[in-house]
Structure 1
């Protein structure tokens, strides 16, 4: 679940930072000026008519409580209706402090055309930081067209504009060699309240082998300015693609279903109503990224090593034995290690050539693939068990591994040194090698897979018994009653299953208890996102199932109306709606609260559900 965060006034989040540290920061703010600052400018919309207003904001952030002043560009092409309005934000995360300051203006264009808001600048430690200029496209206002547009907006109030939410794919490169790693990120951009999302269709990507990167269950929300407009951004999926054939290939689009809240325009009291109380209608929208076209080239034939087997990337190769001196029939371990970044999962390790007088068992293979960060990397290992059968000096030929480096666009071959094994002792020519041809696991099993036949059996005579004993008759009567009870239960269940509303109402309490139990576990696991998600699901699903309300009709107004019809008091209704809004808000707050606060919210949810069960 992800959610949009709009501007908020003086949001000061402290957490568990000691008071002494805070006092030092406030008294000596210059101690925190060791880090650079960032500055960005954005607008609420970049396409307007001459009668529309929009918001222009400049945000400066850094690891300092004393942020430098901003020098704004001249706004000669706009009427300044309000501003600058300032909001600040200070956060402490894992002992590190970050702060930001946002100054915003409400503007109205003086004329039509392409109007440019110039660069905003600031000076910090002798360095000048500046924003990018923003172009505003202003068209002439047409009262009739504007009225029609307003009517269309009112009619489509349950729809989400593509300008407010969309899905984009970002690719590390569009031209690559076969087997070269290509990183693709699918990002959701939004300016609305997004409650949930689910992946509808995963790209099949024919002609590629893909590996998903590990992403946190709670998507990290960042901000990005596109054409002067600020969006919240969440990475939904990140994959590494390796082409398995040459030519013009395509990566399929990702399809995502999102559920967002279209805020009600009635009775709006302030700018922050839609944030603190996301009333409105839940709307589902399907989003799709665009297909990605790639040009895949073949690896060069020039200077290709004879032992090249398709490894593409950057690798390290090592071969070693655990001993160089051994006795006859004493085990020696030969280990081959490969590490690096690239198509390592598809790469085969080279096979060593072992002298015929040394018995070689099937290797023990292992691998560890890392899917974190921005590239797929890992290790592969092969461990061979060698047993020399005769004394002497044996040489194991050097083992080589070749790969293609797409950055340097050339082949590399790494070769191990020769291994010399000195074997002492005397060979036993009469001794056979019963374990030859078996792996170590199979050798271990020998002696445990034989089961002996029992040569004698003792039979016991069965005593004569009556066929119509009391136990038999009682069992027969009991089976008749059990069968009749089964028929009654089956008929009862069929009636419940046929009535969806009755079934939802019947199991609403159990489902809510299940979600609350999961929330209690998440307190102990210190997973704030799953905790608030479970509590929100318990509260929402309980009312939806008890009152048979569909998800698309589940909003604050409809819930309040339905609960009042059941004669539920206003206090209970307010406690319920406040608790649902708090849970939705806290899922993406930087400071998610202590365990005591979470326990308090859990207890409130139990109390509210218990009170409501008396009425519905």
Structure 2
């Protein structure tokens, strides 16, 4: 009986150990033509920390191919269900076929813990090889994307940084990679950090290929377990055609948040602070709307979490807020401030307390939940009679004057700009200024009427003058339309320093329109042809590239100070040379 139990136990052990090592070799498809590159992927998965890889991958006979590139990456994480260490090693090979027909890909061998594992061989089909276009095919297809995520074990809703790199044997191919599309999936939230290209590393992947970082972005997994980040796509554009390339996929081990979360916890992960305040210091009247702002500041998943609101009360009512944000990428998440602007209407007279909802967040560094005390804003609301009684004589005169200036507007002077602001203290200067303004307006009106009567009595005489030549007229118009480009540059610099990027790009478009109108060109395309004919092909190409950069920076989700500075310097340099 004991021998049977031992036999059954050994059988179970052998079955469990059999599935601890997985080795596979796959190609991206079964049929290729002569213009395509063959991509082979070798995956070795070790389930268990006691397993040891004792040899590298022994490749099959690849004499019928030319190896044009290779790369490897190793991932390790812990399975939270079985508490076992999983090590995954992935190697990619890029091959160029030398002959057509059916070609067999042999087995890959590897030694793990004194045992040899191998893959099953398979066949691929190579169609006719176009020798004339082989070099062109190399230049077009010899481009690969690789997504690298260093920290693959994170908490739910905690960000991790992903770096996208492009590889190629031909450095010239790196500049052809455009239209980067970040992954979109229901169980992750992706926010770009920047799309600036780094310096080219000419000897990556063992010196076989050049590489360049083309994008950095944050990944926020919103569910626990194994989460796979989809591939990033991009396009390789040439004069002949446009092809699409994909990066590798990355698997994350997302840890579940600890149990015992407070009732006020609503998926906020990071470090945050809550404030409530009234943006104005005006007196509040019963049943009249007022603005109350709830501000959440900090760093983490601030753009994806649920914000704390205002607590309901019988003393007031409020409406859904208008949300505005000032958020940018930080070191451990999205960093900045989010403002919820509420319209609150007091229902009773006297002191009213406006409270925020209870709020809490999970701090990944301390690995604990943090409860934020509810913030409170105390206001005093007055009745309509109290508001009228509290006004001084000067304030009533100011209100009457303001109503007059807002409704009466003469052709001579725009009076609405003289609106008097409310003052809490008596100010004789304000009263004298208001009286002087009214007298000035009355005198100006009389003078204007007298001038109109005299003008109607004067006979109009016209003198015939030479209209001049077409060239002289065009030069005169161009002189009138000439753009004061220095003032535009100073204004753009102020907007850039104040980070008013929307107004910055609006001013750039106005500057471009003014410069084009000066040369009688209605569109950017016509202006490019004009520059090519009169300023040279180099200036025209710089103008075309600058127009593309402006559109890219304008619609980028996140504006960077370095990118805007570089764009501003390019604008100053190019338009200065055009306007000469």
Compare relative contact order (CA 8 Å, sep 6+) and give the higher one, 1 or 2.
1
TM-score by length of 1: 0.39
TM-score by length of 2: 0.41
